[in-house]
């Protein structure tokens, strides 16, 4: 076995590939395992005019929209469970700053799958008959989806064209130096995103030995062959959670949600938690290790226990 070069790099080197105008997809969903540290670093870089190819990475989309980094969005749904709308994203669409192309969840998934499988289209049974098909956004309707006759006779079937993101940014539980990535719990759309994207950046809570990975290979969601760059970012999903490690930080998410009510407060939030943070460690220390440690999940229940006096 030849000695593989390690995939591990520093965060700034990893995100250096992301340039203005690129298309981006991000892992995670709801308040779980979204690559927030990577997103904050991308914002600090001042990257502009990104195209989001999103399924459910609401916090990534909202932060990038708040920072004015998004030009257009292929999307299914951006919404904060338990809170409400993604206000900055929504307002940017309302003012025309962000152009949208809507899909159902499965529609986006099928387009990513088509790209990952190298196929010219993917059949799908959803979306027909609705404005998702009838009222296009920025994409040419015929380039997005068609109705074709099945070559085996009988029925017409809807097909969608592939969507191939330039970059996927993903946050997961652990990986070895070869970039074999493992994740506990629900896995969002990670696999489809990693297979579809041209370049895959993964940040993880822990770097572990190859032995640890090889003892439980069924937990490996992305083998190293799909990973281009690996970054060690403990608490890299904060303020979202990572199943098996820590719960989402509801108070901090609420703080953002409140701030997103208006432009000025949003800018204040971004200044405090993104722009004034020199690096990931500064961010974690601004949150405070004591706060982060209190987010840990119970090993049996999977979620954090109710707060106790400490």
Partner 1 sequence: MTESLDVTRDELMAVAASREIRDGDLAFIGTGLPMVAAYLAKATHAPNVKLMFESGIIDPKPRELASGVGDYRLALGSPKIAGMAYALSLLQGGRVDLGFLGTAEIDAYGNLNSTVIGPYRHPKVRLAGSGGANDIASMAGRFVIIARLDRRRFVEKLSYLTTPGFLTGPGAREAAGLPGGGPARVITDLAVLGFDPASKRMRIEELFAGVTAAEVQERCGFELMKAPGIAESALPTANQLDLLRRVIDPDGIYLKP
Partner 2 sequence: MVGQDKTCSLGDAVRLISDGDAIALGGARGYDHPLAAVREIIRQKRRGLHVVGCSKSIAMDLLAAAGCASLVEPDAGPRLRAAALGLPMLPLPDGADRSFTDPSARPFVDPFTGETALAVRALNPAFAIVHARWADAHGNAELACGLNGESEGDLMIARAARRVIVTTEQIVSEAAMAVGRGCAVLSGDRVASVVEAPFGTHPCDCEERYAGDLPGLDRCRAAAADPDAFAAWRSEYVDSVADHWGYVDRIGSRRLMGISLNRACRA
154 binds partner 1 (CB under 8 A): no
Q: Does residue 306 touch partner 2 according to CB under 8 A?
A: no
Does the footprint of partner 2 cover residue 31 (CB under 8 A)?
A: no
DSSP symbols for 259-289:
HTTSHHHHHHHHIIIIIT--SHHHHHHHH-H
Q: Residue 191, SS3?
A: helix
The window from 3-11, 54-62, 95-103, 284-292 that contacts partner 2 (CB under 8 A) reads 284-292
Query: Which CB atom, from 178 or from 192, has the smaller least distance to partner 1?
Result: 192
Quote the least distance from Cβ 174 to partner 2, whole Å.
7
Six-digit token string for 169: 């940014």
Verify binding: residue 5, partner 2, rule CB under 8 A.
Answer: no
Count of Cβ atoms closer than 10 Å to residue 65 Cβ: 26
Q: Does 155 bind partner 1 (CB under 8 A)?
A: yes
Site for partner 1 in 210-249 (CB under 8 A): 241, 243, 247
Q: How far apart are CA 192 and CA 200, in angstroms?
A: 11
- Rounded Cα gap, residues 5 and 11, in angstroms: 17
Phi, psi of 5 (to 5 degrees): -70, 140
| Pair of tokens at residue 22 | 């690129």
Whose Cβ is closer to partner 1: residue 14's or residue 93's? 93
Q: Is the peptide bond before 24 cis (omega within 30 degrees of 0)?
A: no
Task: Please choose which of partner 2, partner 1, none residue 51 contacts, taking the beta carbon within 5 to 8 angstroms, the exact cut-off set by kind.
Answer: none
Nearest to 49 by CA among 140, 160, 161, 138: 138
Given the complex with partner 2, which of 11 and 167 has the nearer CB atom?
A: 11
Does position 127 interact with partner 1 (CB under 8 A)? The reply is yes
Span 181-200, contacts to partner 2 by CB under 8 A:
184
Joined tokens for residue 61: 């989309």
Nearer to partner 2, 158 or 174 (CB): 174
* Helix pair 263-270, 58-66: axis angle to 10 deg: 100
**Which of 187, 203, 220, 260 lies at the binding interface for partner 1 (CB under 8 A)?**
187
249 scored as a contact of partner 2 (CB under 8 A): no
Residues contributing to the site for partner 2 (CB under 8 A)? 173-174, 184, 205-206, 234-235, 244-246, 281, 284-285, 288-290, 292-293, 296-301, 305, 308-310
């Amino acid at each position: 076995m030849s000695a593989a070069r390690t995939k591990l790099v520093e965060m700034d080197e990893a995100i250096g590939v992301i340039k203005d105008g690129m298309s981006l997809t991000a892992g995670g969903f709801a308040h779980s395992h979204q690559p927030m540290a990577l997103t904050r670093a991308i914002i600090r870089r001042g990257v502009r005019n990104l195209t989001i190819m999103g399924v459910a990475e609401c916090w990534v989309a909202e932060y990038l929209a708040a920072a004015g980094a998004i030009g257009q969005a292929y999307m299914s749904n951006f919404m904060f469970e338990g809170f409400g709308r993604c206000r900055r994203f929504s307002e940017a669409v309302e003012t025309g700053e962000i152009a949208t192309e809507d899909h159902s969840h499965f529609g986006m998934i099928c387009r990513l799958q088509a790209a990952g499988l190298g196929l010219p289209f993917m059949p799908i049974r959803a979306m027909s008959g609705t404005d998702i098909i009838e009222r296009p956004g920025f994409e040419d309707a015929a380039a997005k989806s068609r109705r074709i006759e099945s070559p085996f006779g009988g029925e017409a079937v809807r097909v969608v064209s592939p969507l191939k993101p330039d970059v996927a940014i993903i946050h997961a539980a652990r990986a070895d130096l070869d970039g074999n990535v493992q994740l506990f719990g629900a896995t969002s759309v990670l696999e489809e995103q990693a297979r579809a994207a041209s370049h895959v950046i993964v940040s993880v809570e822990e770097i572990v030995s190859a032995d640890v990975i090889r003892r439980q290979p069924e937990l490996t969601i992305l083998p190293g062959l799909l990973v281009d760059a690996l970054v060690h970012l403990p608490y890299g999903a904060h303020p979202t959670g990572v199943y098996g490690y820590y719960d989402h930080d509801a108070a901090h998410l609420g703080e953002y949600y409140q701030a997103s009510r208006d432009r000025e407060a949003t800018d204040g939030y971004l200044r405090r938690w993104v722009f004034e943070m020199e690096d990931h460690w500064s961010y974690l220390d601004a949150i405070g290790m004591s706060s982060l440690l209190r987010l840990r999940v119970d090993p049996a229940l999977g979620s954090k226990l109710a707060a106790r006096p400490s």
